[in-house]
C-alpha cells in the first residue's frame, strides 16, 4: 500500500462514492461509447443476461482480497450463495482486513499458490515485481470488450502498465475526491472577512479566527487553522502547492516533487510565522488528526478538511456540529492562484483498488471470461433516484432493502452489521465510471442534514467548475519512486516541522533540498523524468 493511513481514509470516500454514485441519462463515456445504465429499466434484463451467460458450466473461482468491511465477509454467507447462483460459479473468497493484507498477500504470492483473482489497493513495488515475474495475466486484449473498461480514461490505464502492458482492472474512485480545505463561513461573516485567496490573506483570517472570539462565547478557545502531527493535513490550496504533486520543475527542466518546490517553501514560511506569533495550537505536533475532527465538530476549528461524501465517524459530523454551533456554515476554500498564474487542484488517479487475474489461467479462456463478466457486472453505474428496491440490480447488489440497506429520506444507507452477510457488493467492489461528475452531485441528495446538504452542494459546485492537474507520476511506474518517496517525504516533514518551530532556520531551505537529493531524491527525480520522457507523458490540466 502507498500509505496505510491515506488508504484507510480513501476507503471511506470510496465507500461513500460507491453508495452515492449516479449516472447521467445518456451515460456517455470518455471515448464516445455508450456505457450500460444499470439504473434504468434495463437492470432486470442485464441481470438476466448475466445469469444466462453464466449457465454454460459451473466454474470454481478462488478470490483473494483485502477488505475494510466489518465484520469481514466470510466464505459461506448468503451473499456468496447469491454470487454462485447469479454467475454459475463456485465462488471461493478469502478476505483479509487491509491492516494486515499486504503481509498476507506477500506470503500468498511467495508460496506460488496464486489465487485466480488477486485484489490490491494500488500500484506498488510488489505489483510491478509480480507482473514482471509473470504472475499476472496481461489484460490489454480484453479492455475493449466490456462497457465498464471502455469507460476508463487513458491516464488511469497508464498508471497500471508494466512494460507497456496492463495487468490490473481498476475500480472507480472519483478523481475529484479526497480531502479539500474547508472554512467556517459564518465565522468569516461575523468578523467581516472575505474568503482568502492567498496565504497572506489566509494568515490574517487564521489570526482573526484565533484571537477575535468568532464563536462569541467570550473565551479564548478557538483554533484558527487545524493542524496535526506530521503537518497533517498538508495545507495545500492548489496543484502548485501540493507536496505529492509533480508540478514544478528544477533548473534543468525536470519535474520535481512538490515537497522540495517553492510552493511548499511558501507554506512552511506561512506556518512558521503563525507559530512564531503563537497562533497555532501549542500541541499540534503531537495531536492526532482525528482529534482535530473532534474539535471541528465541537465548533472550535475555523479551517480544516473534508471530502465529497464525507468521512463517516472520522470526519465532519454535521449533526454534532449543529448541536454545538447552531449557526455553523461550512464551505470549501477555492484553490489559490499560484505565482505562475495557474489555479486548480490535483486530480487523483480516478481509481482505488484493482483486480489482477492469475497468469495460470492463460489457457483457460472460459474462466477468464467468467471472471471478467463478474467484474464488469459489478462495475455498472446506477442513477441516484433508482438506488432502491425497485431497481433489481441495485437491490441484489446491496443485499435487499431491510437487510443490506435501508431507505432514509430517499437515500439508501447501508446496514453495516448485515452487509458482509447479505450484500454481494461487500465481496466484489462495485461502482461505475462516472464521466460528468454525477457522483459529486449525488452526495447532496444523500446528506442527512440541511447543513451537510448545503456543504456537499457547495463542494460539488466548486469541484465541478475547477481545473484539475493530472499528476504525471500517476501515469508511470518508477521503482525508485515507490521505494524512496515515503522515506523522503518523512524526512522533509521532519525538517520542515523543525523550521516551523524555529529549531532549524528557514534560510536552510536550499541545504535541506540538497540533503533530500543526496538521500536518493536525485536518483528518484532522474528515473521519474526518464520514464515520463520515454512514455511521452507530461503534466496536464483537465
Which of 421, 429, 428, 424 has the alpha carbon at shortest distance from 76?
421
The string of DSSP codes covering 102-160 is HHHHHHHHHHT---SEEEESS--HHHHHHHHTT-B---GGGTTSSHHHHTS-HHHHHTT
69 inside domain = yes
411 inside domain = no
Residue 315 lies in domain: 180-346+444-541
- Residue 202 and residue 306 in one domain: yes
389 inside domain = no
- Residue 70 and residue 118 in one domain: yes
39 inside domain = no
- Residue 168 and residue 260 in one domain: no
- Residue 274 and residue 155 in one domain: no
In the numeric block, the cell 432502491 is attached to 388
- Residue 257 and residue 327 in one domain: yes
48 inside domain = no
Q: Is the CB of residue 273 less than 8 Å from the CB of residue 258? A: no
Q: How far apart are CA 455 and CA 182, in angstroms?
A: 9
395 inside domain = no
What CATH code is carried by the domain that includes residue 94?
A: 3.40.190.10
Digit-coded pLDDT (tens) for 189-220: 999 999 999 999 999 999 999 999 999 999 99
- Residue 167 and residue 252 in one domain: no
The string of DSSP codes covering 53-70 is HT-S--EEEEEEEEE--S
> What's residue 55's pLDDT?
54
434 inside domain = no
How many domains is the chain built from? 2
- Residue 264 and residue 368 in one domain: no
Digit-coded pLDDT (tens) for 117-142: 999 999 998 999 999 999 999 999 99
- Residue 213 and residue 355 in one domain: no
6 inside domain = no
- Residue 317 and residue 272 in one domain: yes
> What's residue 448's pLDDT?
85
Backbone torsions φ then ψ of 60, nearest 5 degrees: -85, 130
- Residue 145 and residue 223 in one domain: no
> What's residue 421's pLDDT?
97
- Residue 167 and residue 251 in one domain: no
- Residue 169 and residue 186 in one domain: no
Low-confidence ranges of the chain (pLDDT < 70): 1-56
Amino acid at each position: 500500500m502507498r500509505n496505510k493511513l491515506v488508504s484507510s481514509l480513501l476507503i471511506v470516500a470510496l465507500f461513500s462514492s460507491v453508495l452515492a454514485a449516479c449516472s447521467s441519462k445518456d451515460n456517455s463515456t470518455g471515448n464516445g461509447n455508450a456505457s450500460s445504465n444499470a439504473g434504468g429499466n434495463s437492470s432486470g434484463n442485464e441481470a438476466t443476461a448475466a445469469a444466462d451467460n453464466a449457465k454454460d458450466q459451473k466454474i470454481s473461482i478462488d478470490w483473494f482480497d483485502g477488505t475494510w468491511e466489518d465484520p469481514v465477509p466470510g466464505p459461506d454467507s448468503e451473499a456468496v450463495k447469491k454470487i454462485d447462483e447469479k454467475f454459475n460459479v463456485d465462488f471461493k473468497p478469502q478476505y483479509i482486513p487491509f491492516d494486515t493484507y499486504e503481509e498476507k498477500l506477500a506470503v500468498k504470492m511467495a508460496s506460488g499458490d496464486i489465487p485466480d483473482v488477486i485484489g490490491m489497493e494500488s500500484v506498488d513495488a510488489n505489483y510491478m515485481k509480480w507482473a514482471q515475474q509473470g504472475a499476472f495475466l496481461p489484460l490489454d486484449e480484453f479492455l475493449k470488450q466490456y462497457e465498464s473498461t471502455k469507460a476508463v480514461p487513458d491516464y488511469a490505464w497508464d498508471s497500471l502498465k508494466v512494460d507497456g502492458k496492463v495487468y490490473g482492472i481498476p475500480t472507480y474512485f472519483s478523481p475529484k475526491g479526497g480531502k479539500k480545505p474547508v472554512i467556517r463561513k459564518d465565522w468569516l461573516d461575523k468578523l467581516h472577512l472575505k474568503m482568502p485567496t492567498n496565504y497572506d490573506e489566509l494568515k490574517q483570517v487564521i489570526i482573526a479566527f484565533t484571537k477575535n472570539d468568532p464563536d462569541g462565547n467570550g473565551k479564548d478557545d478557538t483554533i484558527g487553522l487545524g493542524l496535526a502531527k506530521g503537518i497533517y493535513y498538508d495545507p495545500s490550496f492548489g496543484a502548485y502547492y501540493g507536496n505529492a504533486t509533480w508540478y514544478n520543475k528544477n533548473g534543468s527542466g525536470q519535474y520535481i516533487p512538490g515537497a522540495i518546490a517553492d510552493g511548499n517553501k511558501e507554506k512552511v514560511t506561512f506556518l512558521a510565522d503563525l507559530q512564531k506569533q503563537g497562533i497555532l495550537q501549542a500541541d499540534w505536533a503531537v495531536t492526532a488528526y482525528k482529534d482535530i475532527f473532534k474539535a471541528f465538530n465541537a465548533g472550535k476549528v475555523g479551517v480544516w478538511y473534508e471530502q465529497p461524501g464525507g468521512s463517516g465517524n472520522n470526519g465532519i459530523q454535521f449533526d454534532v456540529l449543529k448541536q454545538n454551533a447552531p449557526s455553523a456554515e461550512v464551505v470549501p476554500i477555492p484553490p489559490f492562484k499560484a505565482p505562475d498564474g495557474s489555479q486548480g487542484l490535483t486530480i487523483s488517479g480516478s481509481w482505488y483498488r484493482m483486480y489482477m487475474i492469475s497468469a495460470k489461467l492463460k489457457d483457460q479462456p472460459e474462466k477468464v471470461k467468467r471472471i471478467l463478466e463478474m467484474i464488469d457486472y459489478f462495475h455498472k453505474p446506477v442513477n441516484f433516484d433508482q438506488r432502491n428496491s425497485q431497481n433489481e440490480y441495485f437491490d441484489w447488489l446491496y443485499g435487499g432493502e431491510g437487510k443490506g440497506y435501508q431507505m432514509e429520506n430517499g437515500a439508501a444507507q447501508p446496514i453495516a452489521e448485515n452487509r458482509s452477510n447479505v450484500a454481494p457488493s461487500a465481496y466484489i467492489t462495485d461502482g461505475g465510471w462516472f464521466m460528468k461528475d454525477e457522483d459529486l452531485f449525488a452526495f447532496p441528495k444523500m446528506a442527512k442534514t440541511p447543513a451537510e446538504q448545503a456543504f456537499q452542494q457547495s463542494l460539488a459546485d466548486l469541484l465541478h467548475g475547477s481545473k484539475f492537474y493530472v499528476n504525471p507520476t500517476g501515469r508511470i511506474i518508477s521503482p525508485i519512486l515507490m521505494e524512496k518517496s515515503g522515506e523522503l517525504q518523512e524526512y522533509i516533514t521532519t525538517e520542515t516541522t523543525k523550521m516551523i518551530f524555529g529549531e532549524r532556520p528557514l534560510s536552510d531551505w536550499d541545504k535541506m533540498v540538497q540533503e533530500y537529493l543526496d538521500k536518493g531524491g536525485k536518483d528518484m527525480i532522474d528515473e521519474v523524468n526518464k520514464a515520463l520522457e520515454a512514455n511521452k507523458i507530461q503534466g496536464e490540466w483537465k
